[in-house]
Amino acid sequence: MDYFYSVLEILYVLALAPLLAGVQNSIEERLESRRGPSIFQPYYDLAKLFRKESLVPDVSSPIYRLGPYVVFMFYLFLAMILPIITAFPLPFAPAADFVGGALFFGAAAAIKKFSAIDSRSNYAHLGTSRSASLGALTEPIMVLIFIMLGVLSDTNNPFVINHVLRTSPQWYYSLLHGFVCVAFFMILIIETGQLPVESHSNGELGMIDQAMPFEYTGPELAFYKWGSYMKAFLLMSVFLNVFVVPFWVPTPEAGAAGVGLYLLLHLVKLLGLVIVFALLNTTVSKFRLYKNFDFLAIAFALAFLANLAYYVVNRK
Amino acid sequence: MNQTFEVLGFLLIVLTLLMQWEAYVTGVIFLFALSSFIVALFLVLLGLSRPGQNYLLFVLAGLTLTIRGLIIPIIMNKALHRLYEKPWRVREDKPAMGVGGSILVSLALIVLGYFIYQNSLYEVLKIRSGSVPFALFLQASLLIISRRHAYIQMIGFLMVENSVVMLSGWVFSGLPFIVEAGAILDLLGLVVVSSLIIRVRENAILQEGEGFESELRG
């Protein structure tokens, strides 16, 4: 049964990741009093890209071709090990703990950057350099957040952290948890490319992740985009299931019916977060590029204050 | 009750960090008003937790709420509107220290406050989070040093005062001292306000020729 859940989890992430992007786009358009595309638009885009031929720059090496496939595979692997539809570890979960998961996200981002550099396009280089300078500072903050969660639960296993936060209100309502949640939300904004940091336009002054796949076409671009949707889906699921709303995630006692029900409930949770993002994207204006680092400094400060709050408040 | 104080204390620390981040003067004034409200709430809760002895704490809370939460921010906003053509665009454009750097220094100061308190007064007082006012004091001093805009410097000064009120109300419960100190510092604040406003006005007259360039800078 556990293997079945594993397969189900992968299919769930694969199938619904583009939907999330479509829903967000649609809500944003509605908030701006426009009709906007259908919520299934990302699927149509992917289908169209899969039918197109792929063009490869003469100057690129095989890394350019392989990059999107490897990155996609990494996210598939992460879908197996993170707590998305179950609160108990599935067969592949012991492959990596929380820090390991963060390393896999980091590795996927690094491969993305290598393949973007290999396209030898100026725009891709510009995006890569921006993404790298932001990423170099977000990774340590993420590690600090995971260390604080480790302090809270005595492990760095996401399933145990979920259990601790679900069952003990004194941790759920602690200052440490509050600071960690806000800091991770700020990191989430950067990683999923929401507005105070990154706008979804092709204006070269502000683009970060949009610039990296500039030379990609056809199936490679489709895999690249699908990978990005999956990354956003996974990070948002982790944010909800481990940090903010650790409740209702099915335990082994819930059985197949519980897991089935949770498949729907999780979509509702994600919808809530997507609405928050849509509100952000329609109300907040973009920071200038170098102001993003002040935003990161605040995220770091909050993660650090979680540490101090532990020493001041919770230390025995 | 102790936990509520801890939450409020950390909220104040976060608000001061946000002041370091905020470039627009109107935003900083708003954050200051918010932090004054929190200090007032803190004093009310403190009065409730010590029943019968300190009714003056409620008076002090009321004074904090009206003077530092409402009157001073309103006066400053009005002065901004008088001095500048577009008051909502007035901002710190040449800080003495970069924003990111000042936030990191601020963190270091919070830790410094914690260590100083933990190694000196904690042995005597046995209040777990008594380091929060010390941290606030250092952070607010940094705000004065790291910014060049007279308004923000003044708000840093008022934040120092907030932290003194918090420190004396929470850590040492000597109330007459607080009332006296609060009143004197408010008077001092008024003097500083008026003198600084004159300086700001002179600066504003000097800057009028620069146009959009200064806005694009930071």
pLDDT at B201 over 70: no
A175 vs B10, B18, B106: nearest CB: B10
Q: Which residue of A has its CA nearest to B131?
A: A312
ipTM for this model: 0.85
Mean pLDDT of A268-281: 93
Mean pLDDT of A43-69: 91
pLDDT at B65 over 60: yes
- Size of chain A in residues: 316
Q: Is B21 in contact with A293 (Cβ distance < 8 A)?
A: no
Count A/B contacts: CB-CB distance under 8 Å. Answer: 50
Q: Hey, is A120 helix, strand or coil?
A: coil
pLDDT score of B122: 79
Residues 6+ apart with CB under 8 A from A306: A145, A148, A175, A176, A177, A179, A180, A183
pLDDT at B198 over 70: no
pLDDT score of A101: 87
Mean pLDDT of A149-178: 87
Calculate helix-pair angle for A62-81, A98-118, nearest 10 degrees. Answer: 160
- Size of chain B in residues: 218
For residue B91, the cross-strand partners are B24
* Burial grade of A98 (CB within 10 A; 0-12, 13-18, 19 or more): buried
pLDDT score of A237: 92
Mean pLDDT of A138-166: 87
pLDDT score of B120: 84
Q: In a mutagenesis test of the A interface, which of B21, B121, B146 is the best target, namely the one with the most A β-carbons within 10 Å?
A: B21
- pLDDT-derived band at A147 (thresholds 50, 70, 90) equals confident
pLDDT score of B112: 92
**A309 vs A66, A70, A183, A209, B130, CA distance in Å?**
45, 40, 14, 34, 12
pLDDT at A10 over 80: yes
pLDDT at A45 over 90: yes
Distance, CA of A230 to CA of A75 (rounded, Å): 7
CA nearest to A50, candidates A228, A222, A217, A226:
A222
pLDDT at A115 over 80: yes
Q: What angle do CA B177, B183, B184 make, to 5 degrees?
A: 85
* Burial grade of A294 (CB within 10 A; 0-12, 13-18, 19 or more): buried
**A192 vs A54, A202, A228, CA distance in Å?**
26, 16, 8
Q: Is B100 in contact with A293 (Cβ distance < 8 A)?
A: yes
Provide the shortest C-alpha distance from residue B203 to chain A (in Å).
26
Q: Is A311 on the interface with B (CB under 8 A)?
A: yes
Distance, CA of A310 to CA of A155 (rounded, Å): 16
Provide the token pair at B72. 């001073």
Candidate from A18-27, A215-224, A304-313, B125-134 with smallest mean pLDDT: B125-134
Provide the shortest C-alpha distance from residue A174 to chain B (in Å).
9
**A133 vs A103, A179, A182, B165, CA distance in Å?**
17, 24, 22, 42
Q: Hey, is B91 helix, strand or coil?
A: strand
Provide the token pair at A117. 């550099």
Provide the shortest C-alpha distance from residue B75 to chain A (in Å).
28
B2-26 pLDDT, tens digit each? 788 888 889 999 999 999 898 888 9
B111-167 pLDDT, tens digit each? 998 888 888 887 777 777 788 888 999 999 999 888 887 778 888 888 888 888 788
One-letter identity of residue A20: L
Task: Give me the torsion for CA of B70, B72, B75, B81, rounded to 10°.
Answer: -90
CA nearest to A68, candidates A103, A104, A114, A128:
A114
A301 vs B17, B114, B129: nearest CB: B17
Residues 6+ apart with CB under 8 A from A296: A134, A137, A138, A141, A186, A190, B100
Residues 6+ apart with CB under 8 A from A135: A106, A109
Q: Is A312 in contact with B131 (Cβ distance < 8 A)?
A: yes
Q: Which residue of B has its CA nearest to A307?
A: B111
Give the max Cα distance, chain A: 63
Distance, CA of A300 to CA of A145 (rounded, Å): 9
Give the rounded percent of residues in chain B with a pLDDT score beyond 90. Answer: 17
Residue B24 carries which DSSP code? B
Residue A237: which region, alpha, beta or left (left: phi > 0; alpha: psi -120 to 50)?
alpha
Query: Would you say A103 and A96 are in contact if contact means Cβ atoms under 8 Å apart?
Result: yes
Q: Which residue reads 């009157």 in tokens?
A: B71
Q: Which residue of B has its CA nearest to A310?
A: B129
pLDDT at B172 over 60: yes
Most confident of A53-67, A268-282, B161-175: A268-282
Element (H, E) at A32: none
Distance, CA of B86 to CA of B98 (rounded, Å): 24
One-letter identity of residue A92: F
Provide the shortest C-alpha distance from residue A309 to chain B (in Å).
8
> What pTM value is reported for the model?
0.89
- pLDDT-derived band at B182 (thresholds 50, 70, 90) equals low
A308 vs B100, B111, B128: nearest CB: B111
pLDDT score of A183: 94
pLDDT score of A121: 87
Mean pLDDT of B67-94: 79
Query: Would you say A270 and A278 are in contact if contact means Cβ atoms under 8 Å apart?
Result: no
Q: Which residue reads 């601790």 in tokens?
A: A164
Element (H, E) at A110: helix A98-118
Q: Is B129 on the interface with A (CB under 8 A)?
A: yes
Give the rounded percent of residues in chain B with a pLDDT score beyond 70. Answer: 76
pLDDT at A189 over 80: yes
A312 vs B6, B104, B106: nearest CB: B6
A193-238 pLDDT, tens digit each? 888 888 777 677 778 888 888 889 889 999 999 999 999 999 999 9
Q: Mean pLDDT of all residues in chain A?
A: 88
Distance, CA of A5 to CA of A121 (rounded, Å): 42
pLDDT at A266 over 80: yes
Provide the token pair at A56. 């490869």
Provide the shortest C-alpha distance from residue B114 to chain A (in Å).
8
Query: Would you say A130 and A289 are in contact if contact means Cβ atoms under 8 Å apart?
Result: yes
Q: Is B59 on the interface with A (CB under 8 A)?
A: no
Q: Is B100 on the interface with A (CB under 8 A)?
A: yes
